[in-house]
Chains A and B, each alone.
Chain A
């Protein structure tokens, strides 16, 4: 069974601060996605990474896939209240049909 561990579980920061969320596993994933979910809504796909060492940027968000494809990080620069939400990582192991989801990081950015 593949497991994805996210840390931290909760994060509360002031507007303008930087933060990093981690997603770690002992398993190798062929791809990894990051989602953001707001209360009462479905998760929204932010990015997909598929190559070891890959770095993708989405405005103030930077996503990195580990060289061994076992871990990933999400870095937010100068966080804003609009970044508040539940961040989920999800990985696909090999040709598995279903994704493995992390437990999520609840981010609160205070104005």
Chain B
């Protein structure tokens, strides 16, 4: 079975803190993705990576950065967390047609 794991299920941070969300996949997939999901707005792509050290902006990259030093690991970084970044964050990985998601991280910024 494909497995995508995320470092935390729930996270509470204060405004201005630097936040790291980590994602690991065990299927040697080239492509990895970070989304956020908000009620009424659906899934929105933040960043994605198609190879180690390669990254591309998605639809809403502002306020975020990413790192992919190893093929299996893709990290999302909130440089200075703000309350409007409170959301459900979903990591996914894909090779060819099938994309698999992790369980999600519910981030609350207070």
Chain A residues at the B interface, C-beta cutoff of 8 Å? 31, 33, 35, 40-45, 48, 50, 88, 90, 92, 97-99, 101-104
Contacts and interface: CB of A to CB of B under 8 A. Distances in A.
Contacts, number: 45
Nearest to A6: B42
A101 B43 contact: yes
A35 B103 CA distance: 13
Contacts of A90: 99
A82 B102 CA distance: 21
Given A45-B101, A97-B48, 19 more contacts: A31-B97, A33-B97, A40-B88, A40-B106, A41-B103, A42-B90, A42-B101, A42-B104, A43-B101, A45-B99, A48-B97, A88-B43, A90-B99, A97-B31, A97-B56, A98-B33, A101-B43, A103-B42, A104-B42
Nearest to A49: B97
Contacts of B64: none
Nearest to B42: A103
Contacts of A99: 94, 99
B61 interface: no
B31 A101 contact: no
Contacts of B92: 42
A104 B97 CA distance: 20
Interface string B73-110: 00000000000000010101010011111111010000
Q: Which 3 A-B pairs have the closest CB atoms?
A: A42-B101, A31-B97, A42-B104
B90 A43 contact: yes
A103 B98 CA distance: 19
Contacts of B45: 98
A52 to B, nearest CB: 15
Q: Which of the listed residues A42, A50, A90, A104 has the most CB atoms from chain B within 10 Å of its own CB?
A: A42
A43 B103 CA distance: 8
Contacts of B4: 42
Given A45-B99, A50-B97, A97-B48, A40 B104 contact: yes
Contacts of A97: 31, 48, 50, 56
